[in-house]
Amino acid sequence: MDLDVLISYFPKYVEAFFLTVRVGVIGIGIAFLMGIISAFIVYFKVPILSFIFSAYIELFRNTPLLVQLFFIYFGLPKLGISISAEVCGVVGIGLLGGSYMAEGFRSGLSAVPGSQNEGALALGMTKSQMFFNVIFPEAFSLSVPAIVANVIFLLKETSVFSAISLMDLMFTAKDLIGLYYNTTEALFLLVVFYVVMILPVSIVGNMVEKRVHYKMFGV
Amino acid sequence: MDEILSIKNLTKTFDDFVVLDHINMDVKKGEVVVIVGPSGCGKSTFLRCINAFEKIDDGSVLLSGESINPSKGKQNKTREKVGMVFQSYELFPHKTVLQNMILAPMKVKKVKKKDAEKEALVLLERVGLLSKKDSYPHQLSGGQKQRVAIVRALMMNPEVLLLDEITAALDPEMVREVLDVVINLAKEGRTMVIVTHEMLFAKAVADRMIFIDGGRIVEEGDPVSFFENPQTERLKKFLNSFTY
């Protein structure tokens, strides 16, 4: 491995790293919101909306991100809506992630015993007071492992962005390999930057898991 | 004394099965009514009808003169006035004892946090759990959890308190600490409707005993004659099943 090559590639990777993180973080933020909204609507079986959101969840959970990105990136311009690759990436991660997050929250919600509803209602709470103060916080702690796994999964899924020419880590590596054939150095930096991006998420995720788990069950 | 709860011809069916069959019952302010009966006789369903957890099929339930099987969406107003304590406690596991107690007063009655906490601490002191105010439910014993559940219900200052087999999940030595709390509430003049299998407790706390079997009130009366001199064969048989 050539140190000079690593050093000369480094700035390009840093740039790509921040782009990947920016798109990933915004996309995951949207995914999180979509997940909560979907879970709420499906939990309360809101008429019409719950059908729409169930369809959305199944559609995005059961198709590859690459296909979704192609639809958004190449399909929307045909309808007269053109968006940049970066926005397309954010929307793609947001929608795909939303369907995964919704499933994560749903599994947490179904793990909260139904008798907790009555515990809250018996105190005179309305259904939405019950949901936001009792059921959702409990479901959330139960969902944390699934949510953390989703975040890691979605960050890794950003590597698909290279297919729509978004200058993310994967694209940068492929680009450099194509230009200079320094495969070893380019791939080595690729691995390093992904680990630097995702390892902290894993570590923080584990800490959060332990903390909420303690609060719920004390072990 | 005024009637706080007035139940007329209450009928409840699940599909074709009649769970409650024209039940009539009045509860006066400050009265403690204890309901006993074999498993599946409809005792718990009866309590659940009183705080609108079950839709009633016929008859009426009046709380201070107001009908409490109101149109959908108004049940929460009823339940503000009717406290309920469950066999399985139903404490909120992600909140401390104190947070469990102040949640409903703050959200439902819009009580200020400081005031709610002050009241909560007084109640915790009375049931001997002041030192547990910052514990989470999983750090408490069953008896302690149930005492917290009782004072949590009291925080809403309910007109009637419903206790649904609150000691059924407890170890025998913890039953006492919970029942002592209830006996004190009775002495303070709390209006309560209690479903229990603890006959000695029933005898000690009840102003009036009711025996339900097959969805009907089979016998009722003051605790002394109810236990010493049961009139019906069915009640005799039921009470005999508790002696060896």
Structural domains present in chain A: 3-217 (1.10.3720.10)
pTM over 0.90: no
Examine the pLDDT at A218 and tell me if it is beyond 60. no
Q: Who has greater pLDDT, A34 or A83?
A: A34
Examine the pLDDT at A217 and tell me if it is beyond 70. no
DSSP assigned state of B53: S
Minimum distance, in Å, between the CA of residue B219 and any CA atom of chain A: 29
Examine the pLDDT at A173 and tell me if it is beyond 70. yes
Which residues of chain A neighbour B135 with C-beta distances below 8 Å?
none
Minimum distance, in Å, between the CA of residue B66 and any CA atom of chain A: 16
Distance CA B29, CA B160 (A): 8
What pLDDT is stored for residue A80 in this prediction?
Answer: 87
User: CA B234: distance to chain centroid?
Assistant: 24
Examine the pLDDT at B1 and tell me if it is beyond 70. no
**For an interface test with B, which of A109, A112, A123 has the most B Cβ atoms less than 10 Å from its Cβ?**
A123
Which residues of chain B neighbour A211 with C-beta distances below 8 Å?
none
Minimum distance, in Å, between the CA of residue B193 and any CA atom of chain A: 15
* Contacts with A35 (C-beta within 8 Å, 6 or more apart), sequence order: A97, A98, A99, A100, A101, A102, A104, A105
DSSP assigned state of A151: H
Choose the weakest-confidence range: A204-218, B99-113, B212-226: A204-218
- Torsion A58-A61-A67-A73 (CA) sign: positive
Measured CB to CB, residues of chain A less than 8 Å from chain B are 115-116, 118-126, 129, 133-134, 137-138, 141, 212, 215-218
Model confidence pLDDT, tens digit, residues B10-56: 999 988 888 999 999 999 999 999 999 998 888 989 999 998 888 88
Minimum distance, in Å, between the CA of residue A125 and any CA atom of chain B: 6
**CB-nearest partner of B108 from A124, A138, A216:** A124
Give chain B's mean pLDDT: 91
> Quick one: pLDDT band at residue A124, thresholds 50, 70, 90?
very high
- Percentage of the residues of chain B whose pLDDT score is greater than 90: 70
Which residues of chain B neighbour A218 with C-beta distances below 8 Å?
136, 138-139
Minimum distance, in Å, between the CA of residue A23 and any CA atom of chain B: 33
Which residues of chain A neighbour B92 with C-beta distances below 8 Å?
116, 119-120, 134, 138
Q: Chain A residue closest to B155 (CA)?
A: A123
Q: Is A76 in contact with A82 (CB distance < 8 Å)?
A: yes
CB contact under 8 A, A118 and B90: yes
What pLDDT is stored for residue B31 in this prediction?
Answer: 94
Which residues of chain B neighbour A121 with C-beta distances below 8 Å?
53, 75-76, 79
ipTM metric? 0.90
What pLDDT is stored for residue B73 in this prediction?
Answer: 64
Distance CA B116, CA B114 (A): 6
Model confidence pLDDT, tens digit, residues A39-91: 899 988 999 999 999 999 999 999 999 999 999 999 888 888 888 889 999 99
The structure tokens 């019952």 sit at B25
**CB-nearest partner of B93 from A122, A125, A138:** A138
Model confidence pLDDT, tens digit, residues B161-214: 999 999 888 888 889 999 999 999 999 999 999 999 989 889 989 999 999 998
Give chain A's mean pLDDT: 91
A-B Cβ pairs (cutoff 8 Å, strict): 76
Burial category of B53 from C-beta neighbours within 10 Å (exposed 0-12, middle 13-18, buried 19 and up): middle
Burial category of A213 from C-beta neighbours within 10 Å (exposed 0-12, middle 13-18, buried 19 and up): middle
**For an interface test with A, which of B47, B53, B92 has the most A Cβ atoms less than 10 Å from its Cβ?**
B92
Which residues of chain B neighbour A141 with C-beta distances below 8 Å?
94
> Quick one: pLDDT band at residue A139, thresholds 50, 70, 90?
very high
